[in-house]
Amino acid sequence: MSVNALDDTKLRILEAAGRTFADRGFREATVRDICQAAGSNIASINYHFGDKERLYIESVKLAHREMLQNTPLPQWPAGVPAAAKLHGFIYTFLCRVLNRDDNWQRRLMLREIAQPSAACEELAREYIRPQFTVLLGILDELLPTETPDVVRHRTAFSIVGQCLHYLIAGPIVRWLVPPEEAALNVPEQLAAHIWRFSLAALSGIGVDAAKLEVPQLPRIAQTAGAAS
Amino acid sequence: MSVNALDDTKLRILEAAGRTFADRGFREATVRDICQAAGSNIASINYHFGDKERLYIESVKLAHREMLQNTPLPQWPAGVPAAAKLHGFIYTFLCRVLNRDDNWQRRLMLREIAQPSAACEELAREYIRPQFTVLLGILDELLPTETPDVVRHRTAFSIVGQCLHYLIAGPIVRWLVPPEEAALNVPEQLAAHIWRFSLAALSGIGVDAAKLEVPQLPRIAQTAGAAS
Amino acid sequence: MSVNALDDTKLRILEAAGRTFADRGFREATVRDICQAAGSNIASINYHFGDKERLYIESVKLAHREMLQNTPLPQWPAGVPAAAKLHGFIYTFLCRVLNRDDNWQRRLMLREIAQPSAACEELAREYIRPQFTVLLGILDELLPTETPDVVRHRTAFSIVGQCLHYLIAGPIVRWLVPPEEAALNVPEQLAAHIWRFSLAALSGIGVDAAKLEVPQLPRIAQTAGAAS
Amino acid sequence: MSVNALDDTKLRILEAAGRTFADRGFREATVRDICQAAGSNIASINYHFGDKERLYIESVKLAHREMLQNTPLPQWPAGVPAAAKLHGFIYTFLCRVLNRDDNWQRRLMLREIAQPSAACEELAREYIRPQFTVLLGILDELLPTETPDVVRHRTAFSIVGQCLHYLIAGPIVRWLVPPEEAALNVPEQLAAHIWRFSLAALSGIGVDAAKLEVPQLPRIAQTAGAAS
DNA sequence: AATGAATGAGCCTTCATTCAT
DNA sequence: GATGAATGAAGGCTCATTCAT
């Protein structure tokens, strides 16, 4: 029970911190506000987490953990075709990313991905890599067996990149397309598109890739600004 | 002449501010450091720009303007095949995005995209939309004419998303693959991969899309806001 | 038995506190560090001693008590010449003072002497005065009987002052002389010097003191409190 | 004039800091109180001195500088006997040390000598060494020319030690002697005593020192407390 | 009797901003 | 027009202390 109470306080602080960090970023968020939101004393952060930065790292880890728990990957029984599993992966990923509810976990992850901090390496190791491994396992069933690692990895990034784009550049997407079309960008529809796009792409990757001659590279004007 | 001198000082401050904001973000960047980098007085920012926030907006605008100048849209002579133009577009995009040189403009823009401020809408309208339009033009040549807008747009986002992923999630990519493979992620190789992937995908989009039945959706446990 | 355990804990805390206070002073020493050094709970100080200040007083008293036990007054058999007793006194004093071992009691006493607190008067009465009396006894044998008290006292202070200087101003002494000379400042050598110096001085004090005309006082510009 | 104003503010802060540090020590003194006493803003310390510690060092240096200026050594015309110069040195030293006025400089120096900080080494180099050199010069005229350095230095420390004792152990001296005698401990009388004592000692140092056999060393009971 | 979670006052420092010159 | 000295609000953090258990 006292253990419970401890956990309660730490958890309350973590939740409040996650929400505040997601709203305002690391610097803009103050420990005073976090403690007030958590209903705890201003010294409790130092007591439970050491300092603000370690609190941040813990709240980022919690965010990812909760995202995975709230929207876990489906469990596929044996015999499910790889194409169906790929669709399930994409759809789950988009559900996490596009969740319309005000879930601070997603917003905090976005900040962390765009501006990686000390928490990011740990995050990649503990939470992202397992998901990546699952995707690679699905792709293995869809790609020729002799496909080299570098192609398998890039293919996985091609799929993940399409999904993440709606998280990263969400506001820009909404400004580039008409409102009535933006309203259609729900996980179901987007998953269908990305799945079709990627499935078609997969049939053209690895097999005839070598035959497809890359056009001559255009000359890229290296901007003068680079040195100014 | 004194106007000139003023402009010089303002420009020097703007450049220093842009670089510093790109490096450290709005809050983390201090006016002291910016002034020191610009070789100007500590009070010069308030004198020339009013306050720190207006300086930030001005430096974002400058970044925007300089990127427009430094990144002209690709021009292809008539008769170039659409597939080649697509490759040129992807390669150019990746060169801008993966540019190792210190172009603070790009990094500042990235911050704006991930955490949109007031300056962001203008950015989307003036800088991103024209590029988007060029890409749509290329895709029009590769997709069936009856392809609906929503599919054309999503296809464009699928391509852009693949490219942006190496900018946005660059550190994570480097943590997920072995170092010797990460070293291969140069614009030339990545462009070849994304081009092949997308070209293969295009042949499967729009045409037989309707035929490709989406698998039954997995049940996504939306324990939304489990803690919110 | 539980009383014994209590005493053990209190003693452990007192020792740890004494050492820590001696090292870092009252304010700089934290109750956390003291409790950690004592292997006790953070709340044990308030529980056993009420507050930090009372712990300090108790640890000064303990230091006092232990020094009394560890530093018995020298005992000379009858017939030892006064000059030899003086040398013994000086040498013993210097041994205590220059003791390289970690005796926190001495260091804590030094702090008390320089910045007297409430505990200091008791210290002077019980610990210092007896030693002072012994020295006066020795000097009585070396000075003319008619020597007035004030001269006897000042002579004692002259001897004690020479010894204490190597404790008080130890670091400064080491900065003023070359390292190889500082290495020679061991109790044996310093005792020999101070003994010779003082013995020679004693032959000139009290006897012909009146004959030795003090030179005219230089004018001391007492711009006292020029800024106060 | 603006330079003057700057100097005024810095000096005001330094004086207030010196007084506060002398009263309460480094840790106990707060920058808030110092600034309030100086009539300046709380950020002015950081602006003018960087941080609290550098302010402390500067105030210690100022204290010593002002002590030397307020009570400078006398200037001796050629031909003044060394004995008279020695008396002048001792008297001046005692005047600085025993100044009855509430001069924070003396109290701050005492703290610094007893608990050397980062300021102390600089202090020794810049302010104490020159005074030490003057004393050595006087002693050179009073000691045989072949006197080795180590003896010359120890002799100087014997003289300085006698004087400093009345600063360091002032309260204890007052507790050890009757009040009416303590009242006599003014610079004039103490200088006369220390001068006579030292002058007599000097005639016995260096010359017959070798002849004066040191008595057998008593056995010093190394206290058990050293290891506890 | 003894603990460890929790408290709140207060510390030094940093920062954008202002103002007299 | 431009400066640098000075400001005050606010930030993170530390600390001795308390309280429920």
Other Cβ atoms less than 10 A from the Cβ of C213: the count is 7
- Nearest nucleotide, CA A41 to C1': E7
Q: Which residues in chain D touch residue C199, judged by CB atoms under 8 angstroms apart? A: 204, 212
Q: Is the CB of C132 less than 8 angstroms away from the CB of D70?
A: no
Which of B102, B132, B203 shows the shortest C-beta gap to A200? B203
Q: Is the CB of B114 less than 8 angstroms away from the CB of A116?
A: no
- Give residue C168's pLDDT: 83
Look up the CATH superfamily of C3-59: Homeodomain-like (1.10.10.60)
* Chain D residue at shortest CA distance from C211: D196
Shortest alpha-carbon distance between residue A92 and chain B (Å): 7
A to B CB pairs, distance under 8 Å: 247
Q: Which of C157, C163, C207 to mutate to probe the D interface, most D CBs <10 Å?
A: C157
Give the pLDDT band (50/70/90) at residue C2.
Answer: very low
**Chain segment D17-34, per-residue pLDDT in tens:** 999 999 899 999 999 999
Which of C196, C209, C212 shows the shortest C-beta gap to D205? C196
Residue extents of the structural domains in chain C: 3-59, 71-211
**pLDDT < 50 regions, chain A:** 1-6, 207, 209-210, 222-228
Which of D88, D200, D228 shows the shortest C-beta gap to C218? D88
Percent of chain D topping pLDDT 70:
86
* Chain D residue at shortest CA distance from C203: D200
Q: Using CB atoms, which chains have 3+ pairs under 8 A with C?
A: D
Query: What are the distances in angstroms from CA C194 to CA B151, C175, D159?
Result: 100, 20, 11
pLDDT value at B20 more than 90: yes
Q: Is the CB of D114 less than 8 angstroms away from the CB of C116?
A: no
- Give residue C222's pLDDT: 47
Shortest alpha-carbon distance between residue A47 and chain B (Å): 23
Q: Is the CB of D120 less than 8 angstroms away from the CB of C172?
A: yes
Percent of chain D topping pLDDT 90:
32
Q: Using CB atoms, which chains have 3+ pairs under 8 A with B?
A: A
Q: Which residues in chain A touch residue B198, judged by CB atoms under 8 angstroms apart? A: 201
Q: Do chains A and D touch (3 or more CB pairs under 8 A)?
A: no
Both tokens of D86, joined, read 């020695």
Q: Which residues in chain B touch residue A8, judged by CB atoms under 8 angstroms apart? A: none
Q: Is the CB of B173 less than 8 angstroms away from the CB of A150?
A: no
Q: How is residue C70 annotated by DSSP?
A: H
- Nearest nucleotide, CA C9 to C1': E2
Rounded distance, CA A112 to CA A64, Å?
11
- Give residue B136's pLDDT: 94
Q: Is the CB of A195 less than 8 angstroms away from the CB of B218?
A: no
Q: How is residue B71 annotated by DSSP?
A: S
Domain A71-211: which CATH number of 1.10.10, 2.40.50, 1.10.357, 1.10.150: 1.10.357
C to D CB pairs, distance under 8 Å: 247
The pTM score is 0.79
Rounded distance, CA B215 to CA A74, Å?
13
CA/C1' separation A127–E5 (Å): 31
Rounded distance, CA B60 to CA A114, Å?
17
Q: Which residues in chain B touch residue A134, judged by CB atoms under 8 angstroms apart? A: none
Q: Is the CB of B149 less than 8 angstroms away from the CB of A181?
A: yes
Helix, strand and coil content of chain C, in percent to the nearest 5, comes to: 70, 0, 30
Give the residue, B119 or A42, on which the prediction is more confident.
A42
**Chain segment B146-169, per-residue pLDDT in tens:** 888 999 999 999 999 999 999 888
Q: Is A205 left (phi over 0), alpha (psi -120 to 50) or beta?
A: beta
Q: Is the CB of C114 less than 8 angstroms away from the CB of D116?
A: no
The protein residue nearest nucleotide F15, judged by CA to C1', is C30
The protein residue nearest nucleotide E6, judged by CA to C1', is A44
- Mean pLDDT over all residues of chain C? 81
Give the pLDDT band (50/70/90) at residue C225.
Answer: very low
Secondary structure of residue B98 in the 3-state scheme: helix
- Nearest nucleotide, CA D5 to C1': F5
Q: Is the CB of B158 less than 8 angstroms away from the CB of A193?
A: yes
Rounded distance, CA C224 to CA B226, Å?
73
Asked if C35 and C41 touch (Cβ cutoff 8 Å), the reply is yes
pLDDT value at D78 more than 90: no
Nucleotides of E under 7 A from a protein CB: 1-19, 21
Q: Is the CB of C193 less than 8 angstroms away from the CB of D151?
A: yes
Both tokens of C102, joined, read 């970690």
Asked if B146 and B210 touch (Cβ cutoff 8 Å), the reply is no
pLDDT value at C17 more than 90: yes
Tokens 């990895």 appear where? A153
Asked if B156 and A169 touch (Cβ cutoff 8 Å), the reply is no
Q: Using CB atoms, which chains have 3+ pairs under 8 A with A?
A: B
* Chain D residue at shortest CA distance from C28: D27
- Give residue A114's pLDDT: 77
- Give residue A4's pLDDT: 43
- Give residue C163's pLDDT: 93
CA/C1' separation B31–E16 (Å): 8
Nucleotides of F under 7 A from a protein CB: 1-19, 21
Both tokens of A19, joined, read 């929400």
- Give residue D218's pLDDT: 60
**Chain segment B64-118, per-residue pLDDT in tens:** 888 777 767 678 888 888 888 899 899 888 887 787 666 888 888 888 877 777 6
Q: How is residue D204 annotated by DSSP?
A: T
Q: Is the CB of D176 less than 8 angstroms away from the CB of C195?
A: no
Q: Which residues in chain A touch residue B219, judged by CB atoms under 8 angstroms apart? A: 74
Which of D172, D192, D204 shows the shortest C-beta gap to C113? D172
Is the C-alpha dihedral spanning A166, A167, A169, A174 positive or negative?
A: positive
Tokens 């997709």 appear where? B143
Shortest alpha-carbon distance between residue A43 and chain B (Å): 24
Which of B201, B217, B226 shows the shortest C-beta gap to A66? B226
Q: Which residues in chain A touch residue B87, judged by CB atoms under 8 angstroms apart? A: 214-215
Q: Is the CB of C212 less than 8 angstroms away from the CB of D199?
A: yes
CA/C1' separation C118–E4 (Å): 33
- Give residue B2's pLDDT: 41
Shortest alpha-carbon distance between residue B42 and chain A (Å): 22
Give the pLDDT band (50/70/90) at residue D214.
Answer: low
- Nearest nucleotide, CA C6 to C1': E1
- Nearest nucleotide, CA A12 to C1': E6
Give the residue, C57 or B223, on which the prediction is more confident.
C57
Which of A27, A172, A181 shows the shortest C-beta gap to B150? A181
Q: Which residues in chain A touch residue B84, judged by CB atoms under 8 angstroms apart? A: 215-216
* Chain C residue at shortest CA distance from D95: C220
Rounded distance, CA B199 to CA B203, Å?
7
Q: What is the 3-state secondary structure (H, E, C) of chain A?
A: CHHHHHHHHHHHHHHHHHHHHHHHHHHHCCHHHHHHHHCCCCCHHHHHHCCHHHHHHHHHHHHHHHHHHHCCCCCCCCCCCHHHHHHHHHHHHHHHHHCCCCCHHHHHHHHHHHCCCHHHHHHHHHHHHHHHHHHHHHHHHHCCCCCCHHHHHHHHHHHHHHHHHHHHCHHHHHHHCCHHHHCCCCHHHHHHHHHHHHHHHHHHCCCCHHHCCCCCCCCCCCCHHHHC
